[in-house]
Structure 1
């Protein structure tokens, strides 16, 4: 039986996924966690076949969790599950080393099939993304936003949503000073001077 960890801060989603996977008799959800820090501690101590990982989480975002999984050389496979724009984030998930990406808008059977494919040794990403890569198309992102790192992109979205440096720092477990440094870097890369301009950029490029 394959072991699975779900990292998502929406209890209803965790319950639905657990029920769907365990009903098949093929999978066992060994941990549900609403934050990456606790989940990473578990993963370092236990062999897990698959992590189902949300992008937006308290304390550590999904990309940072993925980065730490790779840094620790853990053998677990990772399937991103997100409500965010797949044309933007699926390609970043692929480049981060994930084995798949599926939208939260999909039904439970689709998620079940994604899990089966990833655990069978295949990758599972939106067909449009894979076809675009096969055709040599570039990432669907403006050159300006493409220059942002995954962490910068996540912080840019939080800033555009109206969250303060303090709120972002508490949510991501980083200092207020670190958030300020990211903010300066983001503004420089995007050549903007205000949160209003940032919010406009995020909306225009559908990064929500």
Structure 2
């Protein structure tokens, strides 16, 4: 069972998310809040796997709360659910270490997919989010500095578009383990620390 909490300053949004998740097998809402500060006692009293947070909240916003959770509840993963599709907001949340970012105008399917993807160890950034980031960046990649194979470039482009390992494996007719191996090689070659930083590298270097 995936235990989540939801924080949004609009009660109607919280109620809507509860109604979406309630019939979903394998996901349980263990708490909800209307500001960032009220999330803290929920984390203290419940076993929480994923915190679903809006960015704009009173008292403690989503960025401040993310920093707090990363420090005091490092095992809790964070999914940003917001209307903000400005690249500055998206980049800022990636910098503070969120595990996912999707927009409120998407439906239940993407919301559930994001929760499950994050729970099972991968980051999830909606396709509209990745498109916004890519369009907001100019290429910084200097040809020859990092040599990537044709297959690695193909996989990096799919990573930049928000595809998960199983989705990439299916599209390329490869095993999940093969894609994971390529992902590790990409991390090593680009010199980034993790998959999240690899996504940022892809955004910044024109892999679209």
Change (3 A) 1:137 1:27: same
Matched with 1:112 is 112
Residues 120 and 60 of structure 1, relative CA distance in 2, 3 Å threshold:
same
Q: Which residue number in structure 2 is paired with residue 88 of structure 1?
A: 88
State the distance in 2 between where 1:115 and 1:87 align.
Answer: 22
Deviations 1:52-72 (A, max 9, x none): 000011101100000111121
Which residue does 1:156 correspond to in 2? none
Q: Report matched runs for 1:1-208 at 5 Å.
A: 1-125=1-125, 126-128=129-131, 129=133, 131=160, 133-134=201-202, 136-137=204-205
Query: 1:109 Cα deviation (Å)?
Result: 1.8
Q: Which runs of 4+ in 1 moved over 4 A?
A: none
Q: How many residues are matched?
A: 138
Further displaced range: 87-96 or 57-66 = 87-96
Partners of 1:99 and 1:47 lie apart in 2 by: 18
**Match of 1:47, SS?**
coil
Change (3 A) 1:135 1:70: closer
The alignment partner of 1:94 has SS state of helix
Tell me, in whole angstroms, the C-alpha distance in 2 between the residues paired with 1:116 and 1:21.
12
In the TM superposition, residue 81 of structure 1 has moved relative to its aligned partner by 0.7
CA RMSD, 1 decimal: 1.9
Q: Distance in 2 between matches of 1:73 and 1:58?
A: 21
Q: Any unmatched runs of 5+ in structure 2?
A: 134-158, 161-199
Normalising by structure 2, report the TM-score.
0.61
Q: Normalising to structure 1: TM-score of the pair?
A: 0.61
CA distance in 1, matches of 2:113, 2:96: 22
